[in-house]
A = this chain, B = another copy of it.
Amino acid sequence: MGKSLKKIETQVKDKDLIELRRMEIVKAAVDLFVQKGFHKTTVREIARKFGMSVGTLYEYIRTKEDILYLVCDYIHTSFGQRVRPALEITPDSVKTLNGAIDTYYRMIDEMQDYLVFLYQETKSLSHDARKYIFKAEEEMTEIFEEIINRGIEDGSFKIDKAEAGLFAHNIMVLGQMWAFRRWALQKHYTLDTYIEAQSTRLLSELTS
């Protein structure tokens, strides 16, 4: 959390307490938002789950939208924290990309609900907040783009460098598809067979 977060003014003075309470608020709100959506969740419900009164809740935020922002930020940083360390760059570009796809797709599987929620409620955010979320998504794309570019440079991948960006988007979207179209895909695939099918396809395209 934290640095990247646009300052939200509060009544409470103690900085550490603010961080602590906000984390509790987010934890309480995430589940409700994912389950019922932002608009159908009331501040009272959040407060009850948070274990404190509405009044107290409002000591740590200004508006309901602040909670949405905190939740979106939390989800995105959770993604980041989980992918980045898993993405070790090895000399073998094929292996690196395979590993990156594997971790990213598995993470999507774990965080399906969060991902769908993010896409559905982004619109409800203010313009600034939305831009921040997009930036986070773009950073993720750049990681894949860099791996591809390395592979092109060392001769592992045979595509035009101009297409590396598009290819990175494709990788991500085909992963996100697992979350958005589970109703259709999970009839025929398990997570493992899905990753297998998509990554062999993607890799063979790159190396052909």
A residues whose Cβ falls under 8 Å from a Cβ of B: 37, 39, 119-121, 123-124, 134, 137-138, 141, 163, 165-166, 169-170, 173-174, 177, 180-181, 183-185, 188-189, 197-198, 201, 204-205, 208
Contact B181 A123 (CB under 8 A): no
Contact A138 B174 (CB under 8 A): no
Separation in Å of the A19 CB from the closest CB of chain B? 31
Residues of B within 8 A of A205 (CB): 201, 204-205
Chain B, Cβ-Cβ closest to A36: B123
Other than A134-B183, A166-B189, A170-B174, give 20 A-B pairs with Cβ distance below 8 A: A37-B123, A37-B124, A119-B119, A119-B180, A120-B120, A120-B121, A120-B123, A134-B184, A141-B184, A163-B197, A165-B188, A166-B185, A166-B198, A169-B177, A169-B184, A169-B185, A170-B177, A173-B173, A173-B180, A205-B205
9 tightest CB-CB pairs across the interface, nearest first?
A39-B39, A173-B177, A120-B120, A134-B183, A37-B123, A173-B173, A205-B205, A166-B197, A120-B123
Chain B, Cβ-Cβ closest to A176: B173
Contact B169 A181 (CB under 8 A): yes
